[in-house]
Amino acid sequence: MRPIQMVDLTTQYERIQTPMDKAVLEVIHSGKYINGDAVQAFTNELSEYINVKYVIPCANGTDALQLAMMALDLQPGDEVIVPAFTYVATAEAAALLKLTPVLVDVDPRTFNINVDKIEEAITPQTKAIVPVHLFGQTADMEPLMQIARKHGLYVIEDNAQSIGSVYTFSDGTKKQAGTIGDIGTLSFFPTKNLGGYGDGGALLTNNEALARKLKMIAAHGQSQKYTHEMIGCNSRLDTLQAAILRTKLPQLPSYMEARQKTAEKYDAGLKSLPDLLEIPYCLPYSTHVYHQYTLKVKPEQRAGLQSYLKEKGIPAMIYYPLPLHHQPAFKNIVRIGNDLSETENLCKSVLSLPMHTELDDEQTQFIISQIRNYE
Ligand SMILES: *Cc1c(COP(=O)(O)O)cnc(C)c1O
């Protein structure tokens, strides 16, 4: 059996080595390392794949969040509602712009923002909601958009983890995660479901004026060369990363399927261990693209199970061990929108198993059998 890794990017590369090497060498030979042809080509192909009018490439997923908040003219002191259980970048982008992240508790079944708890956290200062589509499923966007419209709030979807996930509205309409709110953000960090070989990110929007502004802000606020309309940043997806992502994009459906197949096996093998753990809950309104396969383990058993698995050569990770409101950098600047006990509980119980496109049946069955043998 091959050693089990949390992610296995080199084996994935070996399977597409010929077209990948060609794409990378082409860029090197072209000499156009910034804004080369692959950037526009990737942008066009991604907008078609995701079914969104405008894709604005940028340097990483954290920048994407910051650019979105800048383009919406959020001002120091404005409040931005974010889930308390998320990666730090969601709140960090807001904090950098001197906005106040307001933490709302999550639904313990889905790990996503609890939409029923958003309204009680809204104040006259609230300007935006930033749902995070965590671990591979979309937040409950239909009622979330209704709340946003009712209170005149912008919606930025942090879709770093759930590219390709599809949300179904109550009338049957389907939309890709990241294309429902005003702006969606993506990360192409190597371990994300569509990952480059370095940093990368993008913004998604169907609003032409916002698209133009986002593009300008990402390029030093420049409307034309050396005319700067507004204060912007330097946030680009470089040509090499675009060429790499372009080569991987056609594989995304098969990558998603590989993750879903592995998840099915995990589900079947682990669902009958209620004294130890709970398998992920699958939502009726969202497909699951399994950025992570995250168990909820009895808190008193988690450390033991994790170190037992480590002894067996099985890595398992805790995403996320410390909620934002306990982080040294954030505890004094966030506002706690409501009781965060579900977030607190999740931080004590979550455990993510190896999940990637190259996990084979032998490895998956080994992981399952070792967990089943755990006393
Ligand atoms: C990865 C991630 C980001 C940040 O993306 P980078 O490309 O690493 O800057 C933001 N939000 C979430 C939820 C993420 O998982």
The Cα 7–Cα 350 span in angstroms is 18
- Mean of the pLDDT values across residues 250-268? 98
* 38 CA from centroid of ligand 1 (Å): 23
E-only strand ranges, 130-259: 154-158, 166-168, 174-176, 183-187, 201-205, 222-224, 227-228
- Mean of the pLDDT values across residues 364-374? 97
pLDDT on residue 109: 95
Q: Rounded to the nearest 5°, which phi and psi values hold at 175?
A: -140, 145
Map out the domains of the chain with their CATH numbers.
Answer: 9-249 (3.40.640.10), 251-374 (3.90.1150.10)
Question: Which residues, in sequence order, are CB contacts of 318 under 8 Å at separation 6+?
Answer: 302, 306, 347, 350, 351, 352
> What is the full DSSP assignment across 237-292?
--HHHHHHHHHHGGGHHHHHHHHHHHHHHHHHHHTT-TTTEEPPPPPSSB----S-
Which among 234, 148, 241 is positioned nearest to 188, based on CA atoms? 241
Strand order in the sheet with 350-353: 277-278, 293-297, 350-353
Nearest protein CA to atom 1 of ligand 1, as residue: 160
Mutate to test the pocket of ligand 1, among 7, 65, 187, 192 (most ligand atoms within 8 A of CB): 187
Residue 375 has pLDDT above 90, yes or no: no
Burial of 369 (0-12, 13-18, 19+ CB in 10 A): exposed
- Mean of the pLDDT values across residues 322-331? 94
pLDDT, tens digit, 9 for 90 and up, residues 109-146: 999 999 999 999 999 999 999 999 999 999 999 999 99
pLDDT, tens digit, 9 for 90 and up, residues 148-168: 999 999 999 999 999 999 999
pLDDT band at 225 (very low <50, low <70, confident <90, very high): confident
* 272 CA from centroid of ligand 1 (Å): 33
**pLDDT > 70: what percent of the chain?**
100
For the CA atoms of 237, 238, 243, 246, the dihedral, rounded to the nearest 10 degrees, stands at 0
For the CA atoms of 76, 130, 244, 354, the dihedral, rounded to the nearest 10 degrees, stands at 130
How many Cα atoms are found within 13 Å in the side-chain-facing hemisphere of 219?
18
What mean pLDDT is reported for the chain? Answer: 97
CA distances from 167 to 109, 117, 156, 270 (A): 17, 20, 16, 26
The binding-site residues of ligand 1, defined as CB within 6 angstroms of any ligand atom, are: 60-62, 86-87, 89-90, 132, 158, 160-161, 187, 189, 199, 201
* 210 CA from centroid of ligand 1 (Å): 21
Which among 213, 229, 139, 122 is positioned nearest to 175, based on CA atoms? 139
Q: What is the pTM of this model?
A: 0.97
